[in-house]
Amino acid sequence: MIHTSDLIQSLAADIRPVRRLRPPAIRASGWLLIAGAIMVGLYFGKGLRPAFAERMSDTTFLIGMLASLATGVLAAFAAFLVSLPDRSQRWLLLPLPPLVVWLSSIGYQCLAGWVGLPPGAVTPEAAAGCASTLLVTSLPLAVAMLFMLRYAAAFRPVPVIIMGSLAVSALTCTALAMFHPLDATVMVLGWNLATAAIVTGVALLINRRASRQRRRHLRTTDRS
Amino acid sequence: MLNLKVEFPDDDPRLGAKGVLEDVAWTELMARSQNGDAAAYLRLLQEITPYLRRRVAAYHQDARDIEDTVQDVLLTVHSVRNTYDPSRPFGPWLLAIAKRRVFDSLRRKIQRQGHEVELSDEHDAVPDADDPLDAIPARVRLRGAIEGLPPGQRQAIRLLKIEEKSLKEASEETGMSIASLKVATHRAIKSLRRMLSDRGDL
């Protein structure tokens, strides 16, 4: 094993100026701006869903949409906060209240949809449009989030990934509610949870590999 | 499911090893390190190392494990040093990273212990004289040594020691006198002892 004082010497010799991260609230706002830009793009590209104003007068729909929007915003703030080593993990509870409201509104939708949807209402075209909105919204958001929080892989990957995927899911659902006639919340959640599981697995692998590399680095420095 | 809780209970994380002032000094050193000041960084790492070592020692007894974990903490500090905000105290930032690495090291230790098996008598590779299986090689060597004796001595050993006949019976069978049988046996045992001890068997 390399001697600790030698390691310190080599780290100090290796130091380069680094750019400090901006405060987490500003970084989260930056990410939310990207989400906002995508929404605007969808508005001009696709237009609002048919009878949007009519749906807005439906209290359940309105509450569900606002709750998913609030969940997305708060989860994004929580993700950027807990990605820093010295911030409390209690920030993870931040999106919990709107999440509860949102999930309970899904429950109602599911039931209502089950009863009210006539057979053949979900056409392949409608489902494909739904899936494209889902991809266009969640993919860039997930990639941006991963890029902005990549340093968290070194010490707190799992909670950060869960919060990040929650933010992406919630905002994607908001977009779908605004731009798509089908209530596809369960599909979006399923999609994003699966993505989250994959990303978590990859992050854990990276973490292990980084840890192994750190060790290998120590051993090779030792030999030289 | 692994359930480990890493806490440094005796420790107000806002304090350095000696008190508040030191944390202020560390904050200052870290801010300068972020700007690329190698001397400040070297001093910071040299000062936090004994402090980390004391914290980590609460979880590891083995000095090697302690150094390993301390080095892991130092490497992580190095790789995520851009996440530190100098307007906040340095201690909690450092301790949060240290806790994470202690947790990892404990997990590795538990996994390592899971692959290790305590040795029992079954794994004992030293021959046991009472075990009939272990005795076979010795018996083969003894038989070989007896074959190497001169004919008179070999016959005496065979009759008296292996077939366990009395001196009188042996004398009748071979026509040798009892005295010469005794001498032959004595010499045979002496040369057997020499032969086997030369080979390190006795």
Kindly report, residue by residue over B70-95, the tens digit of the pLDDT. 998 999 899 889 999 988 888 889 99
Q: How many CA atoms lie within 13 A of A3 on its CB side?
A: 5
Taking CB atoms and an 8 Å cutoff, what residues of chain B touch A83? 83
Residue among A168, A176, A50 at smallest CA distance from A106: A176
Look at residue B18 and give its three-state secondary structure.
coil
* Chain A touched by B45 (CB under 8 Å): yes
Q: Which two tokens stand for residue B68?
A: 């390993």
Q: Nearest C-alpha of chain A: how many angstroms from B86?
A: 9
DSSP class of residue A19 equals P
What confidence tier does B14 reach under pLDDT thresholds 50, 70, 90?
A: very low
φ, ψ of residue A25 to 5 degrees: the values are -65, -40
Question: Domain residues of chain A, as ranges?
Answer: 23-113+127-223
Residue in A9, A15, A151 nearest the CB of B80: A151
Per-residue pLDDT of chain A (224 residues; tens, 9 = 90+): 678 888 888 888 888 888 888 999 999 999 999 999 998 988 888 777 777 777 778 788 888 889 989 999 999 999 999 999 888 889 999 999 998 888 887 665 555 554 445 555 556 666 666 677 777 888 888 888 888 888 877 777 888 888 888 898 888 888 877 877 665 566 666 666 676 677 667 766 766 666 666 666 655 554 44
Q: What is the pLDDT of residue B13?
A: 47
What's the rounded Cα separation, in Å, for the pair A111 and A118?
Answer: 13
φ, ψ of residue A185 to 5 degrees: the values are -55, -45
Residue among A49, A58, A32 at smallest CA distance from A133: A49
Q: What is the pLDDT of residue B41?
A: 92
Do B67 and A1 count as a contact with CB atoms less than 8 A apart?
A: yes
Alpha helices in A46-184 (DSSP H): 52-56, 59-82, 96-116, 124-148, 157-179
Pick the residue from chain A with its C-alpha nearest to B100.
A155
Q: How many helices (H) and strands (E) does chain A have?
A: 8, 0
Is the whole model's pTM more than 0.80, yes or no?
A: no
Q: Nearest C-alpha of chain A: how many angstroms from B89?
A: 9
Taking CB atoms and an 8 Å cutoff, what residues of chain B touch A14? 78
Do A151 and B38 count as a contact with CB atoms less than 8 A apart?
A: no
Q: What is the pLDDT of residue A220?
A: 55
ipTM of the complex: 0.73
Look at residue B196 and give its three-state secondary structure.
helix
Alpha carbon B72 to its chain centroid, in Å, reads 24
> How many angstroms separate the Cα of A12 from the Cα of each of A3, B36, B45, B78?
14, 9, 8, 9
Stronger pLDDT, A48 or B2, i.e. the higher one: A48
Residue of A2, A4, A19, A218 to mutate for B, most B C-beta atoms under 10 A = A4
What's the rounded Cα separation, in Å, for the pair B74 and B30?
Answer: 13
